[in-house]
Amino acid sequence: MDGVNKISVTLSGTQAEELNSALAEYLQRNGYQKTFETFVDESGATVKNDVQHVGLMEKKWSMTLRLQQRIINLEKRIQELESGGIIAPRHKDLKSSATWIPRPPEKLTLNGHRDSVMKVVFHPTYSVLLSCSEDHTIKIWDLETGQLERSFKAHLSTIQDLCFDATGNRFASCSADASIKIWDFGDSYDCLKTLRGHSHTVSSVVFVPNKSWILSASRDGTIRLWDTTTGFCTQTFEEHEDWVRRVCIDQQGQLFASCSNDKSIIVWCLNTKKPLSKLIGHTHVIECVLFVPQEHNNKIAGDHMKKYANEHDVKPTLIISAGRDRVIKIWDALSGACLMDLEGHDNWIRDMVLHPSGAYLISVADDKCMRVWSMEETQRCRVINAHDHFIYSVDFHKRLPYVATGCTDSTIKVWECR
């Protein structure tokens, strides 16, 4: 249909079955017999005539209309409060608010896990947070209310990592049970695929941009590339000599990097499946690594970075790493040159995340602190005493002014940025 915007919505198998059943029941009950028969023949829908399902289509439609009106009324009320200066504006573009950083006290403390929180990750769009734990569960939290929306046992052992795909329609988890699972993010949270092939703990997982692939890293010393459509492993990378702690990928999906207990970082070309460089400089296990988006290069150490780029006649691809030597290192990924060190943590650094504007780096460690590093003035650092125990994970919402931290005491804290 010309001039009509088409919106693609992917339903899980269970959701599609329920929708078809409700639609078939509606057609039959309202006398659209020919349409009903054709629809049932083509869709394979089964009509459910119990009390729970009769009239379900009308109930869903009425509920949608009521919710839409409620949202409109709430949005109007919030706008009135914002314009009157009674509350702070909510959904500003973080990239235009480069000075926004997490500030104490915490906005929310989320309790529910029964063991160490291994990973916290925000939905790319919604005000929703996912967490995973040594208690084998994944929990889904509403950031507006602080309420636990959903909890389910996802693996047979500690869940090490979580990540969303770019759309937010799917997320992946990996575990000490040596498996990776891909989940539907929706009403049902169905497990869409279980990927097996690693022979030990899977410690990291990431979706490849614009591809139906994911990368995983494992204690078995390998990185694996998986086809999420078939569930098959298509490539195994074996350059590391010990546990591979983390794998990350650049925005374009062309390069990925891995860090290991062997104290090295390897930068790989995804197209050729070959290593491009090996970064040596850490003196202990490297816990985390991330790429700096190219557009943020000019935010990193200002004059120092310009001088390096001019001297080498390159626009460097920057990588940041951190680990148990308590040092954060900034590297030129392709030359292997370490450009600078950031020191300040008093214990193992566990995780870090770049501010959406590129102006700050936030790191967490076993010293119970969250540090906010200025990327332009790298010696300037704000220290927040965030938890009473080791902090394993940190994430920054891409659109909303929130930072989350996950701790070994089983708590999660959400910090508002301003």
The last residue of a domain, from among 87, 105, 122: 87
Indicate if 284 and 384 belong to the same structural domain. yes
Are 102 and 82 in the same domain?
A: no
Residue 4 lies in a domain: no
| Tens-digit pLDDT profile for residues 119-171 | 999 999 999 999 999 999 999 999 988 999 999 999 999 999 999 999 999 99
Q: How far apart are CA 67 and CA 408, in angstroms?
A: 38
pLDDT at residue 87 above 70?
A: no
Of 189-193, 312-316, 325-329, 391-395, the poorest mean pLDDT is in 312-316
pLDDT of residue 48: 83
Q: What local confidence, expressed as pLDDT, does residue 2 receive?
A: 39
- Look at 103 and 16; give whichever has higher pLDDT: 103
Looking at the fold, whether 289 and 203 belong to one and the same domain comes out as yes
pLDDT of residue 7: 33
Q: Is the pLDDT of residue 113 over 80?
A: yes
Q: Give the model's pLDDT for residue 153.
A: 97
Does 5 map to a domain? no
Residue 1 maps to a domain: no
Residue 301 pLDDT more than 80? no
pLDDT band at 404 (very low <50, low <70, confident <90, very high): very high
pLDDT at 96: 55
What pLDDT, on the 0 to 100 scale, is given for residue 198? 99
CATH number at residue 75: 1.20.960.30
With a threshold of 0.75, does the pTM exceed it? Answer: yes
Please state the three-class secondary structure of the chain as a single string: CCCCCCCCCCCCHHHHHHHHHHHHHHHHHCCCHHHHHHHHHHHCCCCCCCCCCCCHHHHHHHHHHHHHHHHHHHHHHHHHHHHCCCCCCCCCCHHHCCCCCECCCCCEEECCCCCCEEEEEECCCCCEEEEEECCCEEEEEECCCCCEEEEEECCCCCEEEEEECCCCCEEEEEECCCEEEEEECCCCCCEEEEEECCCCCEEEEEECCCCCEEEEEECCCCEEEEECCCCCEEEEECCCCCCEEEEEECCCCCEEEEEECCCEEEEEECCCCEEEEEEECCCCCEEEEEECCHHHHHHCCHHHHHHHHHHHCCCCCEEEEEECCCEEEEEECCCCCEEEEEECCCCCEEEEEECCCCCEEEEEECCCEEEEEECCCCCCEEEEECCCCCEEEEEECCCCCEEEEEECCCCEEEEEEC
pLDDT in tens, 195-214: 999 999 999 999 999 999 99
207 lies in a domain? yes
Question: Tell me, what CATH number does 140's domain have?
Answer: 2.130.10.10
Same domain? For 145 and 223 the reply is yes
Q: Cα dist. 312→97, 305, 337 in Å?
A: 32, 11, 11
Q: How many folded domains does the chain comprise?
A: 2
Q: Which residues form the domain of 66?
A: 11-87
> Looking at residues 364-371, what average pLDDT do you find?
98
Asked, for residue 300, whether it belongs to a domain, the answer is yes
Q: Are residues 200 and 220 in the same domain?
A: yes
Contact (CB, 8 A) for 279 and 321: yes
Assess whether 401 and 295 both reside in one domain.
yes
Residue 21 lies in a domain: yes
